[in-house]
Amino acid sequence: MRAEGYETSKQYAHADLVIVNTCGFIDAAVEESLGAIGEALAENGKVIVTGCLGVKNDLIRAKHPAVLAITGPHDTPAVMSAVHAHLPKPHDPYTDLIGVKLTPPHYAYLKIAEGCNHRCSFCIIPSMRGDLVSRPIGEVLQEAENLVKAGVKELLVISQDTSAYGVDVKYRTGFWQGRPLKTRMTQLCESLGQLGAWVRLHYVYPYPHVDEVIPMMAEGKILPYLDVPFQHASPRILKLMKRPANAEKVLERIRDWRAACPDITIRSTFIVGFPGETEEDFAQLLSFLKEAQLDRVGCFEYSPVEGAAANALPDPLPHEVKRHRKEQFMKTQEAISANKLKRKVGRTIKVLVDEPGVGRSSADAPEIDGVVRFKGGKAGEFRDVTVDRAGEHDLYGRLQ
Ligand code: SF4
């Protein structure tokens, strides 16, 4: 099947790159797909293959060794990564036609696994995407290397459960650049840290071995930034959520992380108004928040998702109570956040410029955290900024 809507065969030559969406169910379709790939290569030269025939990598490579990348069906992230790797400056027609928002050329999301082995009662991801399936470490690192070679300055490591990477394959040994590497978060981080880009970890479930990456953050190998969704602090609610339930231990670990890496930014998300959440549970959450002094926090009012086990729990909270608790939660956190940002005034920090006048430091993930504002700068460059002023979420300063 031809990549409908991207370019017709007569216009391949004007495209920056051609994505051929293939079909491999019946022989005739295979032939047509191979023909379309050949035509695109002849007319344009830069071709990425996706779709069902993508699983027959050898067949495609044997006939068309010059294709840039081959991805399987329903693998938009892999297509996007390949586009980023070979077309650092994507333009509107592609973003529009593909229907996916591409990140700017200087940062990219690196998906290391799909699915999740947990069964948090408010979440339906495992029922939609299944159990954890880790991508081979060599493949992930190759993609990361291609992205960095193509100009990406920051890699955002994502999955549903980043710290579980490799559990499904029993930390199998893979290979990258001829070296054996275990399919494991710590080894992945070590290797990513050698590529010369910023590496930021998202969705890190608080397993004990997360402690192993903190020294790498302290040594500057990866960004001192940890996105750990704690969700709540009341042991009773955490149990109902089917999450690890020991707030005391979490506080102790946060203290240890900060002792080992004083510059670490800890980001987390929480759910307020979970079914059965009492005033006492909520008070526990607020006192955890004050004690933990997290740098960045997101908060969601609980809302039932169709198919989630939590829907069957007794004592759902009225909307008003949920809203009020969220407000209280956010007010508490805003004061903490403002206070923490104030301590950065007078310091000179490194930022990655997203657009003239706006950049992000190690403490700021794109889209979800604050930014650093200043005059000047060019997208994609690293600059030093001296901080003059702090707001509730953003910093303001001067380029050096
Ligand atoms: S909330 Fe996260 S850890 Fe829990 S089941 Fe969903 S994806 Fe897995």
pLDDT tens digits, 282-330: 999 999 999 999 999 999 999 998 899 999 999 999 999 999 999 999 9
pLDDT at 207: 86
Is the Cβ atom of 205 under 6 angstroms away from ligand 1? yes
Model confidence band, residue 67 (pLDDT cutoffs 50, 70, 90): confident
Give the model's pLDDT for residue 75: 64
- Check whether 143 has a pLDDT greater than 90: yes
Q: What is the mean pLDDT of the chain?
A: 87
pLDDT-derived band at 2 (thresholds 50, 70, 90) equals very low
b/e per residue 122-137 (b: at least 16 CB within 10 A): bbebbeeeeebebbbb
What would the mean pLDDT of 139-168 be, rounded to a whole number? 96
Q: Is 116 in the pocket of ligand 1 (CB under 6 A)?
A: yes
Atom number, ligand 1, closest to the C-alpha of residue 117: 8
- Average pLDDT (259-267) is 97
Q: What secondary structure letter does DSSP report for 44?
A: T
The structure tokens listed for 299 are 């908060």
- Residue 107's alpha-carbon distances to 81, 84, 154, 199, 208, in angstroms, are 11, 9, 5, 10, 29
C-alpha 376 – ligand 1 centre gap (Å): 40
Q: Among 14, 13, 12, 33, which Cα is nearest to 23's? A: 33
The distance between the two most distant Cα atoms of the chain, rounded to a whole number of Å, is 69
Distances in whole angstroms, Cα of residue 167 to Cα of each of 117, 183, 185, 206, 362: 9, 8, 10, 14, 28
How many angstroms separate the alpha carbon of residue 289 from the centre of ligand 1? 21
Res. 229 pLDDT band, cuts 50 70 90: very high
What is the three-class DSSP state of 349?
strand
- pLDDT of 13 > 80? The answer is no
Mean pLDDT (whole number) for 145-165: 96
Q: Write out pLDDT tens, residues 336-377.
A: 999 999 999 999 999 999 999 999 999 999 999 999 999 999
Let me know: does 385 contact 398? Beta carbons within 8 Å: yes
This model's pTM is above 0.85: no
Supply the residue whose CA is at minimum distance from atom 4 of ligand 1: 120
- Ligand 1 center to 340 CA (angstroms): 29
Q: Tell me the per-residue pLDDT of 68-110, one tens digit each, with 9 for 90 and over.
A: 888 876 565 576 667 666 664 433 333 333 334 467 899 999 9
Q: What is the pLDDT of residue 9?
A: 34
Task: Look at residue 248 in the predicted model and tell me its pLDDT.
Answer: 76
pLDDT at 4: 24
Angle between helices 185-192 and 137-149 (to 10 degrees): 20
Answer yes or no: is the C-beta of 161 below 6 A from any ligand 1 atom: yes
Can you tell me the mean pLDDT for 143-168?
A: 96
Q: Does the beta carbon of 125 lie inside 6 Å of ligand 1?
A: yes
Pocket flag, ligand 1, residue 169 (CB < 6 Å):
no
Mean per-residue pLDDT, 141-149? 96
Q: What angle do CA 256, 257, 262 make, to 5 degrees?
A: 110
160 ligand 1 Cβ < 6 A: yes
The per-type count for the chain, helices as H runs and strands as E runs, is 12, 18
